[in-house]
Structure 1
Amino acid sequence: MSRVPDGDRGSMAVEIVVLVPVLVMVMMLVVAFGRYVSAEGAAEAAAREAVRAATLERDLASASAAARGTAADALPSTVSCDPAVLSGSFVAGGVVRVDLTCRVSWHDLGLIGLRGTSPVSASSSAPLDQYRRTGGP
C-alpha cells in the first residue's frame, strides 16, 4: 500500500477551494463576452433590416417610421435599444443611413466586477434607386 506523505495531506481540498471560484469567474467572463457579441450582432442586423425597409418607402416620413418599426421588430427581447434614427439624403440616387444605439446589461455579472450597462452602436446605409420616384406628387 502506498502512503501519502504527511506534508501533502489536504492539498487537493485546498486546490479545489482555490480553483473553483477562478473557474466560475472565467465562465462568467465568457458569458459576458458572449452577451456583448450577441447584442452587437443583433443591433447590426436590425440596422440592416431597418435601412432596407426605409429604402422601399416613397417619402421621408414613411421611411423613418418604417425604419423605427422594422428595427424594433428585428431586435430580440433581450436587447434594449433606442429608436432607430434615419438620416441622409432621401432623394432619387441619394444614400440613407440608419443609426441604432443599444445597451448590454451586466445586471447579473457583478461578481466579476461588471455593473450597469455598456453601449453598443450599429449603423447601416443603402442607396435609393436613381430612377425611383421619391417624395412629391
Structure 2
Amino acid sequence: MAKNRHSSGDGPSQRQLRVGELIRRTLSDVLMRGDLHDPDLAGRSITVGEVRVSPDLKVATAYVLPLGGHGQEDLVRILARNRAELRRLLSRELTLKFSPDLRFRVDETFDRLDETRALFDRDDVRRDLDE
C-alpha cells in the first residue's frame, strides 16, 4: 500500500514549495513596483519573507514585515483589505490554473533570530558550547 505523502507529519511537497516561492517573488515585485494603488501602502517597503501554500494550492499565506518592523498589524490589515486586487494582479503574472486565496500574517522570523542570538550570548550557554 502506498504511503500518503500528504499526512500531517510530512512537510510541504515540492510542488507547494515551488508555487509558494513563485507567489512570494511575484507578490514582492507587485508591492515593490507599487502596482497596488492604495495610499496607505504608498512609499512603504514591505518584505515578503515566505509564502506557504495549502496542499490543494487554493490558499496562500504570505508572511510579511514592513521595513523597520513598525506598524506590522496595520500592514497585515491593509494587505488583507486589498487581497482581491492583489490576487487579480498575481493571477495576471502567474501561470497557475487557479489563483489562490491570499492571507497575510506577520513574519516573526526575525524576532526568533534575535531571541536565538540572545540565547547564544548568555554566559551559561556559551560555557556549555565551549566544553
TM-score (norm 2): 0.32
TM-score (norm 1): 0.31
Query: Based on CA coordinates, which of the two structures has the bigger radius of gyration?
Result: 1
